[in-house]
Structure 1
Amino acid sequence: MAAGSPRILVVDDEPGIVESLCEALKRTGYQVQTAFNGQQALDAVEQACPDLIVMDVMMPGMDGLQALEILRGKAATRNTPIILLTALGTDMDIIAGVRAGATMYLTKPVENSRIVSLISAILGGRQALGCESAEDLRSAASKR
């Protein structure tokens, strides 16, 4: 795996989900970090800021929405793409996730291949347009 390959942080309290998604991401060439709750995610981001985060909502301790709001409040992660991957799928859940700052909201179960494809599209779109942040990407898209 190349040192310059994108770094993805996978955050979920279900070890099986973390393991299978990490395996799929590594096969695609991504560097992968893991965390099992919101606080561990914040700690991992402090050590090495990822290029994208995939995070569950329902986790023990600090949940994904709380972590998302904190991440959006920090300059280093304000524009980092964050995909919420959760079993919560009501309209109110989705609205809460988007309002908290989620780039994308996916309800479980989701095939790993779909998640990997979406990650590639998000990161590839930013790179193709020369965008450093999600805000740059939105700005570039609105000019098209």
Structure 2
Amino acid sequence: MVKLCVGCSSIEDLAAWVDFRLAELRLAGEKPEQYHITRMVPKKIDELLDGGSLYWVMKGNIQCRQKFLDIRPFTDEEGIHRCKLVLDDKIIPTEWQPRRAFQGWRYLKIDEAPKDDLNGSKNRLPPALRQELADLGLL
């Protein structure tokens, strides 16, 4: 699954947000789990939970992913159906892949998913330089 990471412009921003949210949950005495709430419930839950990941788009590029741990549909206090996407708090950098802006989330075919950037070589560049190189089509 692929989704825009609104409010984060880099993997570092996302990691800081995850750390902040987990600390907030611990202070509130709640289970510290990383999750994202969405309005729509995925139809392919079994496929997503069988090794699937949420690929995050930041600044026009897929930059990283987080593995799905659980998908929990629920109804909020206003009676609106929503879905909690529970994610591994480990953020896995990927090769950058350009993506146009879109609303909500989209399924991502396995053969279209960017590969993990296991050695992290591209991610050693400062975020502004990485973005400039990506804008030029060099990453």
Q: Which has the higher helix share?
A: 1
TM-score using structure 2 length: 0.29
**Which of the two has higher C-alpha Rg?**
2
Work out which structure has the larger RCO, using CA pairs closer than 8 Å and 6 or more positions apart in sequence.
Answer: 2
TM norm structure 1 = 0.29
